[in-house]
Amino acid sequence: MPHPSLQDLLDRVHVVALPMRVRFRGITVRELALIDGPAGWGEFGAFPEYEPPEAAHWLAAAIEGAYQPPPPGRRDRIPINATVPAVDAEQVPDVLARFPGARTAKVKVAEPGQALADDVARVEAVRALIPTVRVDANGGWGVDDAVQAAHALTATGALEYLEQPCATVAELAELRRRIDIPVAADESIRKAVGSQAPLAVAKAGAADIAVLKVAPLGGISALLQIAEQIGIPVVISSAIDSAVGIGAGLHAAAALPELPHACGLGTGSLFVEDIAETPPQTAGYLPVRSVTPDPARLHALAASPQRRQWWIERITACYAHLG
């Protein structure tokens, strides 16, 4: 469908600031622009360091969510992994308590300023409480460091996979040849949108699993197309989304032909407050549903006028790059 006019888009925007329980990805407040559209709500939350050409994919996803209905689903509930930020090992039980029934946990590792020993301690603390553990390095290791970390992190138990252990496709491919742990690609796929590069991960034999996120890939339709083309198992994950973005991720996961792994869509528990009441996890699952923000929460969580204007200007800049 054609894009709505810029003015129609801006007339529908609500900008919110969601306080977080712990620092995650370097932030303690998550700002987002929500779009109240004719088909539902869309979410635009590209991180500040993303320049307009890349952030435009996030805007396209928000437009799709606001102006088009979600695709038909194949399942009505989605298995969810717990998400453990780069906290001290002593904080792990409190974090995991927010994910009742979860049987899988994703643990952040390779945090700047921390050592491998911190990662090992955090993973061990998680492993004591959750049977299946995966780690996410956000490209923070070189190949040799990743090999060392893989051995250290599996000294007392298995890992389901290493997510984006190294930054480049070539490094991921080399690492896969040197370790027995499955490798998952995230940034190598989502930062390559707009070219054939997302498929380069599969062609290079650089990953066993693809971690896909609705917003950075340009929407549910684009994600499903990439999932079909890439030809390896898929995990749907969040980009620190509000309840609206989580709803889109759940619809994407529901539409996949197969879903062999738990999805990273339980990050709503990282917020002190969200724009809608989120459904409780039941036995490690979330129900598939679209989300309508609570008007009272939209008002209470509204960003300052200055920050609203910043997001309006950002949407305007990104709109010029929509395909």
CATH number for position 38: 3.30.390.10
Within-domain flag for 1: no
Percent of the chain with pLDDT over 70: 97
Shared domain for 53 and 92, answered yes or no, is no
Residue 83 lies in a domain: yes
Annotated binding-site residues for Mg(2+) read 136, 163, 186
pLDDT in tens, 241-264: 999 999 999 999 999 999 999 999
Kindly state whether residue 263 falls inside one of the protein's structural domains: yes
Given a cut of 60, whether residue 196 has pLDDT beyond it is no
Q: How far is CA 307 from the centre of its chain?
A: 23
Does the pLDDT of residue 281 top 90, yes or no?
no
Whether 40 and 139 map to the same domain: the answer is: no
CATH of the domain at 152: 3.20.20.120
pLDDT > 60? residue 63: yes
Tell whether 259 and 299 lie within a shared domain: no
State the Cα–Cα distance between residues 138 and 188, nearest whole angstrom.
Answer: 10
Together in a domain, 16 and 161: no
User: Do the domain assignments include residue 59?
Assistant: yes
What's residue 206's pLDDT?
A: 93
Q: Please tell me the predicted confidence (pLDDT) of residue 246.
A: 96
Same domain assignment for residues 119 and 235: yes
Q: Do 86 and 114 form a contact (C-beta atoms < 8 A)? A: yes
Q: Which range has the top average pLDDT, 52-66, 192-206, 264-278? A: 52-66
Res 198: pLDDT: 67
Q: Which residues are the active-site residues?
A: 108, 213
Residues 41 and 116 in one domain: no
The token pair at 119 is: 């990662």
User: Which domain does 300 fall in, by range?
Assistant: 6-70+295-320
23 band by pLDDT with thresholds 50, 70 and 90: confident
Query: Is residue 199 situated within a structural domain?
Result: yes
Q: Residue 108 corresponds to which amino acid?
A: K
Whole-structure pTM value: 0.93
Q: Which residues contact 292 (CB under 8 A, 6 or more apart)?
A: 40, 41, 276
Q: Is 167 helix (H, G, I), strand (E, B) or coil?
A: coil
Q: Same domain, yes or no, for 25 and 136?
A: no
Query: Does pLDDT of 89 surpass 80?
Result: yes
Q: Is 217 found in the same domain as 125?
A: yes
Same-domain status, 219 and 129: yes
The answer to whether residues 21 and 156 belong to one domain is: no
Q: How many domains does the chain have?
A: 2
Task: Indicate whether 36 and 136 sit together in one domain.
Answer: no
pLDDT (tens digit per residue) in 93-144:
999 998 989 999 999 999 999 999 999 999 999 999 999 999 999 999 999 9
**pLDDT-based confidence at residue 318 (cuts at 50, 70, 90):** very high
Whether residue 66 is contained in a domain is answered as yes
